[in-house]
Amino acid sequence: MTNYRMIVQYDGTRYNGWQKQGDTDNTIQQKLETILTRMVDGSPNSPVDVHGAGRTDAGVHARGQVAQFRLETDKTPDEIRDYLNEYLPDDIGVTSVAVAAPRFHSRFNASQKTYLYRICKDKSYHVFDRKYLYEYRGSLDTAAMKVATIQLRGEHDFRSFCGNPRMRKSTVRKLYAIHIIETPDEIDLEFIGEGFLQYMVRILVGTLIEVGEGKRDPFSMKELLEAKDRNLAGPTAPARGLTLMEVKYN
């Protein structure tokens, strides 16, 4: 079978996340698999398997999700893309499909992922952006937040920022950069890392917001990392503000 890679965009508002689940077909992965299986006249009992680079949570969006699948077809990559876009819901789109190396795997070969979290500090109501940002509607001390990010960069055990209390695998991750960009209306937090734990970015955001509110010392991040205790970190920020922007490969 030929191995393919595709770039997928989606508005995650009405979906139960990326990963397929046994009790619902309302996931991005399931929508893609169903259409690809239909395209090759496959049986629902033996679907085409689609693997995403990032298993985004319910309500999280993507502009640059990378997914990979194997199938046999006479269609060109562009024809596969067009077929998918014809039958996918309007809030899911495939921007490109290409033949990949036989051993390429979108998740296991990923070397870097970039997430963007948008916080609205403007107190006016943003009708057209409301599904893609967290309407905090208040001021935050971004200088203090930037100080806090210094201790978070690098390779650490991020168990305090993991949303899965039963996580048995390693919770060590490498965070290359956290950029905080402030505009008159927004505070945008960009996270660039080798990989991320479940809810990790949203817990980091919730913790940094507490720093910006003056509720948490910006120099306490090292202590929080060493504690390896989720209960000591901040709340999980709302899903709607988070977007997977890009996935890179070596």
Active site members: 57
Residues in the chain: 250
177: Cβ contacts below 8 Å, ≥ 6 apart: 153, 190, 191, 192
DSSP code string of 62-115: EEEEEEEEEE--SS-HHHHHHHHHHHS-TTEEEEEEEE--TT--TTTTEEEEEE
Strand partners of residue 246: 114
Question: What is the CB-side half-sphere exposure of residue 131 using CA atoms within 13 A?
Answer: 13
| Number of H-type helices and E-type strands within the chain | 5, 10
CA distances from 15 to 9, 19, 30, 126, 187 (A): 13, 10, 10, 22, 26
Residues 6+ away with beta carbon under 8 Å from 203: 161, 162, 163, 230, 233, 234, 235, 236, 237
Helix (H) or strand (E) holding 146: helix 142-152
Whether 31 and 89 have beta carbons less than 8 Å apart is answered as yes
Residue with tokens 């500090």: 121
Cα 100-101-107 angle, rounded to 5 deg: 75
